[in-house]
Structure 1
Amino acid sequence: MYSLVINSGSSSIKFQIVDPNAGAADAPLVSGLVEQIGEPSGCVTVKHPDGKEVAQKPIPTHKVGLQEAFRILDSKGLGPTQLDITAVGHRVVHGGMVFSEPELIVDEVVEKIRELIPLAPLHNPANIDGIEVARELLPDIPHVAVFDTGFFRHLPPAAAVYAINAEVAGKNQIRRYGFHGTSHEFVSSQVPALLDRDPAHTRQIVLHLGNGASCSAVANGQPIDTSMGLTPLAGLVMGTRCGDIDPGIIFHLTRQGGMSIDEIDNLLNRQSGVKGLSGVNDFRQLRAMIEDENQDAWMAYNVYINQLRRYIGSYMIALGRVDAITFTAGVGENDRFVRRDALDNLEMYGIKISDERNAMPNDGPRIISTDDSAVKVLVVPTNEELAIAQKAAKVAARM
């Protein structure tokens, strides 16, 4: 039995066919990407057990893109109607205060997701496109929505509430929602077994460091704080997003810089962060620039690390006792310098990284702290697709 996992963006669709019972390190049966939807030229890439297929052609709509992907899979005997697919799991970015658990998708659920578009105008519309297309193409398979915000739905009020007028906040649904929840939940659930600890007595910090970046404090399986807020813009410095800034900067850019709201939105979401300071958002390029003694790259890296350490420190206080600090996602799993510098000179807090273990290649979950480190430091690859597949299969099994 398999689950089809769909992550639909505004101009792309990522998908995988996954065995929900597979291990975290197991490769999916099929993975694919539909790119440049709505542009003059498009591309569909499908990886399967026998190799890779690529089709380059105009893809005017999400429906055409998914149909083309399914056509390729059908030709290999791996189409969604040819395999024993029991559920289709859809990543949905924002569940607001409405959804805390995965939901079987019916028309009413789609409409509620649509009502949440003002909270995620860049993401939820694309997620809905993927849902509607997939439900049309695969009407006889249960479809399940899995929400990025779900893991953080029940944050303690002190962590979730912003200190603005309560009436205004309530009317406009303003609070800390948190994102990357599927990743934070998946990774934090792996840590206790790796440390041979009881999940109900494990306090940990999870650092999801990719082009988008977030961190969370998880006490005994439940999140008590997270860095992203009403939107994914808050928190850590990211590839193209600024993370936490003085909100007065927005007023200043409007009044003194003459910038429109849309221009500021683009600036803070797409032209800031590491890219805004150095010109690049890929950490491999950034590292090469640092080695060439590029001062802009060095500044971007230092700002990134400083903000990361600030959150680690605050979450250590929030948790009171920290058993583990875990790095995950593209940068967290692969950049040993970020891991080293994020936890540099913290021996007085019981944090000691082994240089030898930290330098090992990314080949699965591992402990990179020294044997005598009171706080264990780990690298745990995230697998959001597997997590979505498992959640979707569980909902479908209840039908």
Structure 2
Amino acid sequence: MSVVLVCNSGSSSFKYQLIDVERSETLASGLVERIGAGVGHARHRNDEATDADSGGSWDTAAEVPDHFAAFEVMLEAFAAHGPSLEAHAPVAVGHRVVQGGARFFEPTIVTDLVKINIDELSALAPLHNPANLAGIEAAQRAFPDVPHVAVFDTAFHQTMPPAAYTYAIDREVAARHRIRRYGFHGTSHRFVSRAAAEFLGRPVEELRMIVLHLGNGASACAVSGGRSVETSMGMTPLEGLVMGTRSGDLDPAILLHLQRRAGLGVDEVDRLLNSGSGILGLGGHGDMRDLVAATERGDAQATLALEVYTHRVRSYVGAYAAQLGRVDAIVFTAGVGENAPLVRQWSLAGLEGFGVELDAARNGERGSVARRISTDASRTEVLVVPTNEELEIARQTLGAVAVA
């Protein structure tokens, strides 16, 4: 059997997928929202159901006071709407954990010591690791007889050299407070870089590529031989590219200026940079679809926001090209990267001298599979490769169990 249950637990939500790894197929998926907020909402989809079945999609309101209750809602959904967890019993449960620090560089079977470490690393990811840990503990109660595996967002980036992950501040202060670049979206960057190599029919070990994970959160990654050697997110997911509501790179003195001259407190600055900046703060739209539509209507603020966004992407492409020495492929992925032709066009505009030639017709096509959007003459391949973080977590989970 190769069935794995993949869990992604947030502070107020819980997403899951039941995946047959051998066939790379999702058997069921679901979402429980508004955990701890009174009446919650649950959605469940049985992907094995046919039109004639009573299964398929199911939505309901439910009392979800905590993550333990969320797992009960999930189990009830499987029991009532399928597929059967007896017929498709998971051999393991894989958990997305955001911050693994410098301690975890591979998928890790959950033990009491691992949970202690995840809890200690919450100082670096206070919005994520506590929720991830709550989901692990709820899942262990629901599935006590199978191994549980933590797959860390940061793990893929543990191959970065010290020059890439070290910040130029006092080394003793940095060591005391664990200040360094960790990077995120690692599960996606790993999956996409390998899927891109498969599409090109070349071993990932011989390729140098730049992967652009552009969603509400966004990050760039330089991948050499299948290993991360540089990435744009830093100690936290705030650094790097412009995002939906996050600022990305800033002069750090701006934070001091906002505190000293604007009178903003630490929490206010935090909210501004994480929730009120990015394309929302610049263009008034936090969703790229709305920003592109406004740009196409001639909205000046939206246009500037999109120009800033794509200027930052282009800057990182150039920087990573220098780090890699050569670029075999530039790969777009995630919600914006996969579905926004204008963003891809503007992000690569002017890079013809670097061997990048975008094919306008190919770039404008829609699709849900990996595809080439560069011209046949382009020295650098430009691809769109849909990400599948859940499948990657399932694969890594199965691999960790196999070698345990």
TM-score range, shorter chain: over 0.9
Provide, for residues 302-327 of structure 1, a one-character-per-residue CA deviation record: whole Å limited to 9, x for no partner.
11011111101100111111100000
Q: Is the 8 A contact 1:155 1:224 kept in 2?
A: yes
Provide, for residues 77-113 of structure 1, a one-character-per-residue CA deviation record: whole Å limited to 9, x for no partner.
4254552210100000000011001110011110010
User: Is 1:307 matched up with 2:312?
Assistant: yes
Instruction: Write the distance in 2 (CA, Å) between the matches of 1:109 and 1:79.
Output: 31
Q: Which residue of 1 aligns with 2:128?
A: 123
Instruction: Write the distance in 1 (CA, Å) between the matches of 2:398 and 2:130.
Output: 24
User: Is 1:47 matched up with 2:45?
Assistant: yes
User: Is 1:389 matched up with 2:400?
Assistant: no
Equivalent positions of 1:154-233 (< 5 A) are: 154-233=159-238
Q: Which residue of 1 aligns with 2:22?
A: 21
Equivalent positions of 1:1-399 (< 5 A) are: 1=1, 2-23=3-24, 26=25, 28-49=26-47, 50=49, 51-399=56-404
Instruction: Write the distance in 2 (CA, Å) between the matches of 1:199 and 1:60.
Output: 45
Instruction: Write the distance in 1 (CA, Å) between the matches of 2:23 and 2:73.
Output: 27
Q: Is the 8 A contact 1:4 1:80 kept in 2?
A: no
Shift, 1:22, TM fit: 2.9
SS at match of 1:313: helix
Instruction: Write the distance in 2 (CA, Å) between the matches of 1:207 and 1:178.
Output: 13
Q: Is the 8 A contact 1:275 1:281 kept in 2?
A: yes
Instruction: Write the distance in 2 (CA, Å) between the matches of 1:277 and 1:77.
Output: 45
Instruction: Write the distance in 2 (CA, Å) between the matches of 1:60 and 1:117.
Output: 22
Identity fraction in percent: 49
Shift, 1:393, TM fit: 1.1
Shift, 1:289, TM fit: 1.3
Q: Which AA in structure 2 matches 1:104? A: I
Q: Which AA in structure 1 matches 2:69? A: V
Shift, 1:277, TM fit: 1.1
**Structure 1 length as normaliser, TM-score?**
0.97
SS at match of 2:42: strand
Q: Is the 8 A contact 2:151 2:397 kept in 1?
A: yes
Q: Is the 8 A contact 2:109 2:150 kept in 1?
A: yes
Instruction: Write the distance in 2 (CA, Å) between the matches of 1:236 and 1:81.
Output: 45
Shift, 1:197, TM fit: 2.2
SS at match of 2:71: helix
Q: Is the 8 A contact 2:46 2:82 kept in 1?
A: no
Provide, for residues 179-209 of structure 1, a one-character-per-residue CA deviation record: whole Å limited to 9, x for no partner.
0000001111122222222322211000000
Provide, for residues 23-80 of structure 1, a one-character-per-residue CA deviation record: whole Å limited to 9, x for no partner.
4xx5x11010000111133100001133101111231111111201110111234254
SS at match of 2:136: helix
SS at match of 2:5: strand
Q: Is the 8 A contact 1:176 1:228 kept in 2?
A: yes
SS at match of 1:29: strand
**Structure 2 length as normaliser, TM-score?**
0.96
Specify whether residues 291 and 99 from structure 1 end up closer, same or farther in structure 2 by C-alpha distance, changes over 3 A only: same
Instruction: Write the distance in 2 (CA, Å) between the matches of 1:179 and 1:72.
Output: 32
Q: CA RMSD in A?
A: 1.2
SS at match of 1:153: helix
Q: Is the 8 A contact 2:292 2:342 kept in 1?
A: no
Q: Which AA in structure 2 matches 1:385? A: E
Instruction: Write the distance in 1 (CA, Å) between the matches of 2:159 and 2:203.
Output: 22
* Farther off after superposition, 197-206 or 246-255: 197-206
Q: Is the 8 A contact 2:10 2:132 kept in 1?
A: yes
Instruction: Write the distance in 2 (CA, Å) between the matches of 1:61 and 1:199.
Output: 42
Instruction: Write the distance in 1 (CA, Å) between the matches of 2:115 and 2:29.
Output: 25
Q: Which AA in structure 2 matches 1:46? A: H
Shift, 1:390, TM fit: 0.6
Q: Which has the higher contact order (CA 8 A, sep 6+)?
A: 1
Specify whether residues 126 and 79 from structure 1 end up closer, same or farther in structure 2 by C-alpha distance, changes over 3 A only: farther
Structure 1 runs not aligned, ≥5 long: none
Q: Which AA in structure 1 matches 2:28? A: V
Instruction: Write the distance in 2 (CA, Å) between the matches of 1:323 and 1:148.
Output: 25
Instruction: Write the distance in 1 (CA, Å) between the matches of 2:60 and 2:142.
Output: 20
Q: Which residue of 1 aligns with 2:52?
A: none
Q: Which AA in structure 2 matches 1:128? A: L
Q: Is the 8 A contact 2:193 2:204 kept in 1?
A: no
Instruction: Write the distance in 1 (CA, Å) between the matches of 2:23 and 2:255.
Output: 46
